[in-house]
Structures are given as structure tokens and as C-alpha cells.
Amino acid sequence: MVRQLGEAVDLIVGSPRGTRYGDSHPTFQRSRTVVDDRSVDHPADVTRSDRPPAFVQPVLVLVAALAIFEGYHWLNLIPTGSPRPTEVIFLAAVVPLTTGLTRRLEGAAPRSLCLTARLASVVLLFLGIPELIVSDVVLTRALGVTSLLLAGVLVALAVVAETAERRGTGNL
């Protein structure tokens, strides 16, 4: 992290040796632009890797496991009583977690899977809020099915992310 910060400062300010980070680093390419009869150097756009960050797969699997647990609870396969504090925390965290994780996968995963996960998390939130107030059997079962659907999509996204990571490193 410190090395990257130093290289970024070298890129902006210039290093004392007269070379900049962008002159020697392979991901930066210099291009010249003429502005007001002056020639200006600037780095070209850095190409984004299609590989997701390493933390995405474990967090996807963790959220999927929580979704399975909550789905089984809502389907009354795990009778524990209602409402529970973990249910409220899960409903509050599911949309931001799912949205943030699927954004990290946009280059590596199919867009339809990412959109399905986001949609399922939003539906889960909108079904969960009334269920906390009024316990309805149909609403509770719909929550369970939606939660298990979200878990399946998140596991599929984790597999796709792992495949993209292995393909990027050559370890298939």
C-alpha cells in the first residue's frame, strides 16, 4: 500500500530521479496531447482486470449461508419463533451487501446473475418489512422462497467469480 502510494505521488509530482512511475510501469502508456500549442503527457486509461477482488467469494458464500438459514427459518423448517434480532440485521444488510458484491463482479459475472441477485435482495427487503409488523403465513413463505433463491444466485456468482480468478491466474 505504501509502495502504491509512493508510485502515485511519483506519477503526479515526478520522482527526484527524473522518471515517473508511468514511464516504467507496463500498465501505463504515455500519449501526447497538444493543448494550446503545447505538448502534454498524460497516462492512458488503465485497463481494468476482469478478475474480482479476493474477498468477494468468501463474503458471497457467507451471505448465501445466512440467506439459507433465514430462508429455512421463514419456511418454518427451523422453528425458533419470530421475530429474531438476526432477522432484522439480515434484512437491513442484505441489499447493501448484495449490491456492493455484485458491483465487484460486473466484469467477471454475467449481468443477468448480478441483476437477479440485486432484485431478489430488494424483494426480500420489501417483503421482510411488513412481515416484521404483521406475521402472515403467505408472506413468511414468500420470504423463505425469495431468501433461498437469493442464496442460490449468490452461490452461482461465487462459482463464477472463482472460475474467473482461476482463469486469470492460469490455475484451472
Q: What is the pLDDT of residue 136?
A: 84
Q: What is the pLDDT of residue 16?
A: 47
d(CA 153, CA 116): 7
d(CA 145, CA 31): 54
Q: What is the pLDDT of residue 53?
A: 75
Q: What is the pLDDT of residue 63?
A: 93
Q: What is the pTM of this model?
A: 0.66
Residue 46 CB contacts under 8 Å (≥ 6 apart), including other chains:
27, 28
Write a three-state SS string for 22-68.
Answer: HHHCCCCCEEEEEECCEEEEEECCCCCCCCCCCCHHHHHHHHHHHHH
Backbone angles phi, psi at 102, to 5 degrees: -70, -25
Residues of the chain with pLDDT under 50: 9, 11-32, 42-48
Q: What is the pLDDT of residue 47?
A: 42
Q: What is the pLDDT of residue 20?
A: 46
d(CA 4, CA 11): 10
Q: What is the pLDDT of residue 4?
A: 53
Query: What residue type is assigned to position 134 of the chain?
Result: V
